[in-house]
Structure 1
Amino acid sequence: MLPFIVVLAALLLDRVFGEPRHAHPLVAFGRLATAVEARLHADSVMVGGLAMLLVVLPFVGLAWAAAIWLPWPAVIALEVLGLYAAIGLRSLSEHARAVAAPLAVGDLPAARAAVGRMVSRDTRALDGEGVATAATESVLENGADAVTASIFWYLLAGLPGVVGHRLVNTLDAMWGYRSPRYARFGCAAARLDDVLNWVPARLTALGYALAGRTAVALRCWCTQARTWESPNAGPVMAAGAGALGLHLGGPAPYAEGLRQRPLLGEGMPPTADSITAALGLLHRSILVWLVGIAIAGGGLWAWRTAVA
C-alpha cells in the first residue's frame, strides 16, 4: 500500500498547505532554465534539446541516486515531498474559484483579470461565456498536466519519474511556444512533454469519464479528440466536456488573432457554475485514481522494486 500512502499524503499536504509560498523548487528551476536559455539560445532544435538535457538530467540523476542510496524511510519522505511539490491541485482550485466568484455576480472585469492568470489567450476580448469557457478548459487540461500526470510518473518511476516529468513540463511552458524565438529551440521540450503526457492524458480522460457522464464522455473522446490541435489535450478536453454535459472549444482570441477551434462535448455553453462543476469532476476523478492505486498497489510496488 506504500504507493497509495505516498500519493494520499502528497494530496493531503497540497490540500492543507497549497503550493510552497517561499522558495518553490520550480521557481528556482525556472530561473536556472532562463539563465541557460539566455546563454545557449540558438535557432536550432539540437541546441534546444541539449539545453533541455543540461537542465533536467542532473536533477533526475540526483533523484535516482537518492532513491538508490538513502534508507527507505528517507526515500518515502522525499517521494511524498517531491510529489507534493509537483502537483498543484489546491492552486488550480483557488485560481478557478477566483474566476467563478466574480463571474457569478456579473463582475466581468474582475473575472477577466482572474482568468488571465490561468490562460494565455487575450482575456480583454472575452465575454462572460468566453471567460467561463477559458476557465473550464484550463481546469480540465491542467488537471492532467499539474496533477494526474505527476501521480502517474510517480507510480511508474518513483521520485526520478516525478522530477523528470515536472521539469520537462515546466520547460514546455517556458520554451514550447510557436514564436520566432522558440519555434525550434523549444521543439525538443514540447515534443518530449507530449510523449511523457501521452498515457497520463488518456488515463485522465478515462478518470473524467468514470467520474461524470460516462457514455457521453467516451463518445466525445472517441469522435472529437482527434480534431483538437494537441494530441493530449484533445482526449482530456473532449472527455471532460462530455462528462460535464458542456460544449467547449469554439473561437478564442489570442495575441496573434482570433483562433477558430473545434467544438468539444455535448450540451450547454459554460457558465460560472461550469467552472465549479469542472473542479468537482477533477476531484472525483482523483478519487477514481486513488481507488485504482489502492487496488493495484501491490503490483505497483513490485514493479517499482524491480526497476530500482
Structure 2
Amino acid sequence: MRFIFFALFLYSLAQLARSCFANRECARVGDLTQARMLTGRIVSRDTAQAEPSDLAKAGAESLLENGNDAVFGTLFWFVVAGGPGALLFRLANTLDAMWGYRTARFLQFGRSAARIDDALNWIPARLTALSYALLGATLADKRCAWRCWRVQAPAWPSPNAGPVMASGAGALGLLLGGAAVYDGVIEQRPILDCGRMAGAKDIGRAWRLVAGTTVMWVGLIVLAGLLV
C-alpha cells in the first residue's frame, strides 16, 4: 500500500509540474490558443477568451490550491491514517470538484461532498498556508503572506482555499482572485492583493513554492521516522 501511495503521489506531483511548465512555456512564447487549452485542463473556469494575464493568474491559483488538494493534503492523511486515509481524502476532494453544490439535481449529494471535503481539508489547508508563509523568499514576503491570510482569506467563499491562496499570494507578492468566468458567467471573487498582477514567470514561481513545501514536509516526516 505504501509503494502504491508514493507512486501515485509522485505521479500527481509530476503531472502538476508538467501542466505547469507546459502552460508557462506557451504563455512565454505567445501561443495564446495553446495556453488557453492547457490552462483549461487544470482549472474549472472558462479560458476560451482569457487574456495572458488571466491565464497566468489562473495557473498560479490552481498550483497554489492543488499544492494542498493534490499534494500536501494527501500526504497529511497518509501519515495520519495510512493508505485508506489518503484514499478517503482524494475521493472526497474529487467528489467535491465534480459535484460540490453544482446543480439543483445533485444539490444534497454535492453539499455532502463539499462539507466532507471541507472537514478533511481544514488542518492540511492551514498547514499548507503556514508552509507557504514560511517559504516566502524575503521577510517582507513572509509578513505579506501572514497579513493576506489573516485579513483577506476570511472573505473567500471556501474556508480552506482562502487561507491557502491568500498565503500563497502574499508569499509570491501577487494579486490573485478577482473576476473569473465559470459556465459563461463572470464571478467576482474577493481580491487577494499583496503585489502585482501575475505573469507567465509566476507560474514557475508558484510551482517552486509548492515543490518547496513538499520537500520540507517529506523531509520532516522522514526525520521524525528516524528519530522515533
Q: Which amino acid is the alignment partner of residue 173 of structure 2?
A: G
**Secondary structure, in 3 states, of the residue corresponding to 1:262?**
strand
Cα RMSD of the aligned pairs, angstroms, is: 1.6
Q: Which residue of the partner structure matches residue 85 of structure 1?
A: 8
The separation in 2 between residues aligned to 1:198 and 1:275, in whole angstroms, is 25
Q: Which residue of the partner structure matches residue 156 of structure 1?
A: 80
Deviations 1:214-244 (A, max 9, x none): 2211111111110111000000000001000
Deviations 1:61-119 (A, max 9, x none): xxxxxxxxxxxxxxxxx213124325611101111112111111111111111100011
Q: Which residue of the partner structure matches residue 296 of structure 1?
A: 224
The separation in 1 between residues aligned to 2:193 and 2:225, in whole angstroms, is 33
Q: Residue 49 of structure 2: which of 125, 131, 137 is its match?
A: 125
**Secondary structure, in 3 states, of the residue corresponding to 1:224?**
helix
TM-score norm. by structure 2 comes to: 0.92
Q: Which amino acid is the alignment partner of residue 242 of structure 1?
A: G
Deviations 1:231-276 (A, max 9, x none): 0000000000100010101111111410111111311100000101
The runs of 5 or more residues in structure 1 that have no matched partner are 1-77, 302-308
Structure (1 or 2) with the larger CA radius of gyration:
1
Q: Which residue of the partner structure matches residue 258 of structure 1?
A: 186
Percent same amino acid among aligned pairs? 48
Asked if 1:173 corresponds to 2:101, the answer is no
Q: Which residue of the partner structure matches residue 239 of structure 1?
A: 167
Asked if 1:108 corresponds to 2:36, the answer is no
1:122 CA drift (Å): 1.2
Q: Which residue of the partner structure matches residue 29 of structure 1?
A: none
1:120 CA drift (Å): 1.3
Q: Which amino acid is the alignment partner of residue 32 of structure 2?
A: L
Q: Which amino acid is the alignment partner of residue 89 of structure 1?
A: L
The runs of 5 or more residues in structure 2 that have no matched partner are none
The separation in 1 between residues aligned to 2:184 and 2:107, in whole angstroms, is 15
**Secondary structure, in 3 states, of the residue corresponding to 2:107?**
coil
The separation in 1 between residues aligned to 2:222 and 2:146, in whole angstroms, is 24
Asked if 1:142 corresponds to 2:66, the answer is yes
Are the equivalent residues in 1 in contact too, given 2:46–2:184 (CA < 8 A)?
no
Residue correspondences, number: 223
The separation in 2 between residues aligned to 1:197 and 1:163, in whole angstroms, is 13
Deviations 1:26-50 (A, max 9, x none): xxxxxxxxxxxxxxxxxxxxxxxxx
Asked if 1:221 corresponds to 2:145, the answer is no
Runs ≥4 in structure 1, deviation > 6 angstroms? none
Are the equivalent residues in 2 in contact too, given 1:125–1:253 (CA < 8 A)?
no
Are the equivalent residues in 1 in contact too, given 2:153–2:163 (CA < 8 A)?
yes
Q: Which residue of the partner structure matches residue 22 of structure 2?
A: 98
The separation in 2 between residues aligned to 1:246 and 1:186, in whole angstroms, is 32
Q: Which residue of the partner structure matches residue 207 of structure 2?
A: 279
Quick check: 80-89 or 226-235, which moved more?
Answer: 80-89
1:284 CA drift (Å): 1.1
The separation in 1 between residues aligned to 2:142 and 2:84, in whole angstroms, is 34
Q: Which amino acid is the alignment partner of residue 191 of structure 2?
A: L
TM-score norm. by structure 1 comes to: 0.69
